[in-house]
Structure 1
Amino acid sequence: MSTQSDETPEREHTPELTPVERAAAEAIFGDRLPLAQRYVEHLCTTGIDHGLLGPREVPRMWSRHVLNCAVLGRELPAGGTVADVGSGAGLPGIALAIARADVEFTLIEPMERRVAWMDTVVKDLGLENVQLIRARAEEAADEVMADVVTARAVSALKKLIPMTVPLLDDEGELLLLKGRSAGEEIEAAAKAIKRFRLQPPEVLLVGEDLLEEPTTVVRCRRR
């Protein structure tokens, strides 16, 4: 019988980095790559056990999830503050916090079990640049004012903009991870963009030089 704790990830359950993924991971994480590997171990073991991700995601945990999120780190301001809305399994918040030790992150998540899991992971990785808040984004607006707000797989833009803009400081920007429908979402969010006085959104492809499939990001800046 194994004596390993349920909270301790097992390396043999995690996917190996392909040569392309390893090159990207080394470029993104640098000397903090071992922390990223430890995070992937958590995702592939306790993250699956807690229902944060499905077991079918394990083979593509690096490419589809961790690298897809962490590459956004190159767009963050040096020494800045980031609020990540609906962090779930720490994507993109924890992945970015590993990649950018100089940036302070506030991870906002309403579900208790997800917050508890992230708390365990953050402590295990020793991430001193991460704060967790258990709340809905709307409830955190009074205590959070960030340079950048991120979100991934939370909601369509027309609903996401009203949730995230109140967390920005006066010169802040939204960096929202999206898929191929980003253009359609921008069109559908025209009223919200105008209401919250945002500049016309930009669609960025981040990581084209590193990833087989670059990350699609919608950037919205205040006027």
Structure 2
Amino acid sequence: MAHTSPTPEAVTKAARALGRPVDDRQAGLLAVYLDQLIKWNKKMNLVGKSDWRTVFDTLVVDSLFLADFLANLKLPGKPLCLDLGAGAGLPGIPLRTLWPDGEYWLVEVREKRALFMKSALGRLKLPATNVFHGKAEDALARLAGAGHHATADLILSRAFMPWPRLLDFIHPMLRNEPGRGGVAVILSNDPPPAEADIPEGWLLGDVAGYPAAGAERYFWSLKVR
């Protein structure tokens, strides 16, 4: 039942019901993450008052379909990815159980949420998946100082800030090389704007819709020109 700790078998069944099956390994990792999330949620407000099945059906669902969306994007090998405002690790941590490409940084300024993500990742042992505790605008400078790329290949955002402001904010953070511009992916409850409304310097790329919580949600990709 939903109020009990999730089992891999229950997660497998829940994913199948959403129309995006997972394999045994993925189900096991997702069960561990959800168990940790619900336990920590009793002490701090990570996802509101919720049981694991509700979290799965309303939040983890994004990660399941996002994995397929990212797999179809034309990203460079081993992309450097930033997940802005990662909160309790959604969509990033469940995403990384299905899409392990490149190096992934969960960026979160709130200390308790960053602590939770580090604890969860300590259990999951997901490859090349890390937490940056600090302001988003400081992330790349700190990473570059530690020998990483100076710009990101992929930036993900769900409600970090309104999308027109977001594009201005992240433009200097994304790789900007001929034929190799960085990509932003926005998770939204709304379809993308018309191409005429896309700011100068950006190109609207792949768009996908998927069912979630009885409605339609969307992924938009926008590439630096």
Instruction: State the TM-score, normalizing by the size of structure 1.
Output: 0.77
Cα distance in structure 1, aligned partners of 2:39 and 2:15: 20
Aligned to 2:131: 132
User: Which residue in the other structure is 1:221 paired with?
Assistant: 223
Q: State the AA in 2 paired with 1:220.
A: L
Q: Indicate the larger mover: 98-107 or 135-144.
A: 135-144
After TM superposition, the structure 1 = structure 2 runs for residues 40-189 of structure 1, keeping only pairs within 5 Å, are 40-56=34-50, 58-76=52-70, 77=75, 79-142=78-141, 143=144, 145-170=151-176, 171-180=181-190, 182-183=191-192, 186=193
In structure 2, the CA distance between the partners of 1:113 and 1:19, relative to structure 1 (3 Å rule), is closer
User: What residue identity is the alignment partner of 2:117?
Assistant: M
Alpha-carbon shift at residue 134 of structure 1 (Å): 1.3
Residues of 1 paired with 2:42 and 2:14: CA distance? 25
Distance 2:186 2:24 in 1: 24
Cα deviation, 1:41-65, whole Å, max 9, x if unaligned, reads 1222213422111113644211211
Match of 1:53, SS state, is coil
Spell out, residue by residue over 1:76-133, the C-alpha distance to the aligned partner (whole angstroms, 9 max, x if none): 2463332100100111111111111233211111111111110000001112321211
Shift of 1:222: 1.1
Question: Which deviates further from its counterpart, 21-30 or 136-145?
Answer: 21-30
Q: Are 1:48 and 1:54, in contact at CA under 8 Å, matched by a contact in 2?
A: no
**Which blocks of at least 5 consecutive residues in structure 1 are unaligned?**
1-10
CA contact (8 A) 1:107 1:133 kept: yes
Match for residue 204 of structure 1?
208
Offset of residue 167 of structure 1:
2.5
Percentage of matched positions with identical amino acids: 22
The Cα shift of 1:33 comes to 1.9
